[in-house]
Amino acid sequence: MRACVPLIVAILFSLAWAGKLDSCASRCDEKFHRDAACQCDRQCPRHGDCCEDYEHVCTGEEGPEEPEPILELEEEPVEAPAGHLYSAPSSCRDRCHEAFDRHQPCHCDARCPEFGNCCTDFESLCGHEGFSYSSDAITKEELQSISEKIYRADVNKAQKADIILNSQNRISPSETRDQVDRCPEPLFTYVNEKLFSKPTYSAFINLLNNYQRATGRGEHFSAQQLAEQDAFLREVMRTAVMKELYGFLSHQNRYGSEQEFVDDLKNMWFGLYSRGNEEEDSSGFEHVFSGEIKKGKVTGFHNWIRFYMQEKEGLVDYYSHIYDGPWESYPDVLAMQFNWDGYYKEVGSAFIGSSPEFEFALYSLCFIARPGKVCQLSLGGYPLAIQTYPWDKSTYGNGKKYIATAYVVSSTR
């Protein structure tokens, strides 16, 4: 019987990894798995079978760009069963203030209550250490409730007659690397551009030409461009969408005043950091909404207005899509493949028909409540998940992190 154990373990691993998506998320330094689509062990560079995101997920040489959208909601972590081969400590004894370690079955850092992965004795052993725990944690149910309120408050969204979408051919996830244009016609057949005269749309569009898309080239804002950032924040804060968000976060004791909230939004979204060399060449807003080019690939670019305007100018060529959301009205979600002026985007998820304040609110909510985690929301009764990542190489204020990216990863369970 003892001799069968290795065989049983091997079979279980094979079954678990069969059909896995080709990402190194939660797989760094694992052993070679024959049935996995690609590998994340330290020998994979030598053998040429690493997953595409191995370099920036596992080597630490890159910032957290995008293990681009998985479009399947990650399973919630489960506790290791009794007798599991890995026997890391399951207690916070002598571990309070310990840095997060993904190999541990439970955690004792200051943010573990927020992510729901604390050891069971965290409160009793670490509560006296000055941690702020249960009162600061935002629950999944609270996130779903506030996202529904934001969804209902989006009065500036496109109506059915405002957009005619021509999604054409849908492909399987395995075909996204082919870089084949399977859609001869543009994605947008018609957009009612009267939408763009609304204050938040107009202020948003004014920001899109303020960036150099190539990373490694420093961004330098003029006084006019800085004023446009302030104007955008001012306009979105006047909307019911952002009033809902601020009211929720204020109730959660995240911000003491609306001005504190606005100042933090400006830093986390518009603060500059370096994705390339020493130049401050990027920001959360540029990456998510305007799009960037790094190492010959499109990164970010998750906004329908930007896509429409670039497609109208002949700079974007829509190739195909792998996901179309269940919503029968706007906003909807589409995950697509496209070429942006010579550079390919393998999977780019975007809300379609949403107002700028709607996207800005949901991405901000998820970054504040679940930074670096899958954020489970609800829109019109349908589940939706957003993934955010913080920029870990530089900070602002009292150690706060900038937004590295934010995008829709799933709309199904």
Strands (E), 216-359: 292-294, 297-299, 316-324, 332-340, 343-352
Name the H helices within 154-222. Answer: 199-207
Q: Which two tokens stand for residue 109?
A: 């850092």
Which run of H or of E encompasses 259?
A: helix 258-270
Inter-axis angle of helices 258-270 and 223-236, to 10 degrees?
130
What distance in Å separates the CA atoms of residue 299 and residue 178, rounded to the nearest whole number?
Answer: 17
What distance in Å separates the CA atoms of residue 148 and residue 187, rounded to the nearest whole number?
Answer: 28
Q: Write the single-letter amino acid at 127.
A: G
Long-range contacts from 222-229, C-beta under 8 angstroms, 24+ separation: 228/203, 229/266, 229/270
What distance in Å separates the CA atoms of residue 104 and residue 98, rounded to the nearest whole number?
Answer: 11
Residue pair 386/358 in contact by the 8 Å Cβ criterion: no
β-pair partners for 349 = 335
- Residues whose CB is less than 8 angstroms from the CB of residue 120 and which lie 6 or more positions away in sequence, other chains included: 90, 106
Cis, peptide link before residue 331, omega less than 30° from 0: yes
Catalytic residues: 287, 302, 345
Q: Which two tokens stand for residue 208?
A: 């899109």
